[in-house]
Amino acid sequence: MTGQRRTSIAITWPLAALLAASLPAAPQDPPVDHFARGQQLLEKNCGDCYGATRAGLEEAIAELRKARDTGNFDAPRLRAIHRLLGQAYGTLAHVFLPPDSEEKNQALRRQHESLEMALRYGTPETDLYVEYAATLARPQEQIPVLLDALTRDPRHADARFFLGMIFANAAENEEAIYHLRLAVEYATPLQAKEFEPRLQALLDAAGTSAPAAPPAGASAAKCSWSKFGGEVKRGEAFARPFGRNLVFYLEPNGPAESNPPGWTIGIGHRLYPRPRFDFLMPATPPYRFWNPRYLDTTYGHTAQQAVQITPREFHFFARYADLEAAQQALEKLLWSGNHSAEDVAQAGKQLAALPRFDGRVHLRDARLGGTEGGKEWIEWLKFEVEVCEPEFTPAPPAGPRTVRDLDPRELLERALRQNWGTNRGSPADCPENVPLVTVAQTLYGDLTRDGREDAVVGGYSCVSGTGGMDVFGVFRLNAIGKAVQLWVTEPRGPINGRDPHADLRGKMRLAIEDGRLAQSFPVYRKDDPNCCGSAGTRKFIYRWTGDDFVLADVVDLPPGT
């Protein structure tokens, strides 16, 4: 019996296994996408989201940490995880945690660490540099990060604004105004609402009545020569301030044991990190192969030959605005194959027009060293530097000074094109030999309550016919001297159960009354001829909200009023 029992077990076990294998597998839960869950929770619990909670935000952080620790992701996804973690910790610190608490400080440290990690993966987005800079405590740390952002995208408005405000807080108004002007120029309308008042306040404080910026290099430049000397040993750096903001320096090529040893001559700016921002290199050709700023044994020079090349003459820019313009021009000149012939030619003209200053290094004495292998280097160097210290006389800012300097016809054309863009018209609708617009009214007044005049321009389009003025626009001059059209939201439907456009046939007139915009139209009776409405005047009065003009009142005035 025992043997039969054993035989039975041996036979039935493989059969059971085969039967089990033939049955459908039990359903399994799909793997959890912690990244997607964390991202969704973060979106629902953002700083200004309705219903956001600390618990929801902490759950988002937990999911993102699981994604970071358990996933096998490529560099872009890892960068995204760390960036979202940084944003989550920042929201937790600033929105949900008590001020001046250890909890908040810890969340801020984790925000900084997460964004720092995000920068290490792949090619970061420009916004990420700005977010990371905001976690740094000192301007000296923030400035290089923001300049990294602008190297990637010179038109990044937030980076420009951040940098401009750092300089403004340090009372470096010239640099602040330069960066804030560009921030306003590249800003979205929403950004411009925040940026412009800061720039205008600086301009007002500096006594600059004209808001338009001169181009780089547009100041009259002169200089006065100065002289100083120095000594330097192999592997050492040398730096000497001169002028208002500049620094002459010798930057060692590397550690003392490096090959080839020596120095690079440079000019830095005390507000910008050196040697990364060298105000000498873009001003001193040649840009490829050997250059007199190389005080070393490169390009086949022996140490003996290197110290015999004296004086070493160089040129330099004195302002960051000119350096940045030069860098952008050089990119087109040195990599001309990536640009059109016209752009390359224009870049050459721009580079040649920038104000540059002269300097020279006289090598007065040197001591050479060598190795058993026959290589030699400069062990010690004594030198004298002559530089022409820059002096700038600011040129009058270019462009219009007030809104009255703007051309009303150009403004009206712009208003018409904006209207056509909304209502699907085009210049092709114009009859032959009829001008696009004809200006009939130009009014000036402070409609936006900012202490500066705005312009109201009205007139006839090429398709107005006998209906009178059919196009108008309201404009202001922004802080960089450009005309900005202000939106007027006209009534579309009934007001208090009544059609505000009933019995109107055009013939618009414009006015500024008590700081408000007013449109007036004659009201027609049924049998009135088109020339003359006899039922009085209907007036639409608009007020400025900070974003647009909205209807404040509709008033019917009796005939003769």
pLDDT at 166 over 90: yes
pLDDT at 95: 93
Q: Domain spans of the chain?
A: 34-205, 220-393, 403-557
pLDDT mean across residues, the chain? 87
Q: Which amino acid is at 375?
A: K
Q: Tell me the percentage of the chain whose pLDDT exceeds 90.
A: 61
Rounded average pLDDT over 315-319: 94
pLDDT at 438: 92
pLDDT at 455: 96
pLDDT at 30 over 60: no
Domain made up of 34-205: CATH architecture: Alpha Horseshoe (1.25)
Q: Is 381 exposed, middle or buried (0-12, 13-18, 19+ CB in 10 A)?
A: buried
Rounded average pLDDT over 254-277: 82
pLDDT at 24: 56
**pLDDT tens profile 86-104:** 999 999 999 999 999 999 9
Model pTM score? 0.76
In the numeric block, which tokens belong to residue 430? 């114009």
- Give the rounded distance of the alpha carbon of 117 from its chain centre: 23
Task: With cut-offs at 50, 70 and 90, classify the pLDDT of residue 72.
Answer: confident
pLDDT at 473: 95
Q: Tell me the percentage of the chain whose pLDDT exceeds 70.
A: 87
- C-beta atoms surrounding 172 within 10 Å: 16
**pLDDT tens profile 333-387:** 999 999 999 999 999 999 999 999 999 999 999 999 876 566 788 999 999 999 9
CA distances from 395 to 174, 177, 222, 238, 405 (A): 13, 15, 13, 35, 19
pLDDT at 202 over 80: yes
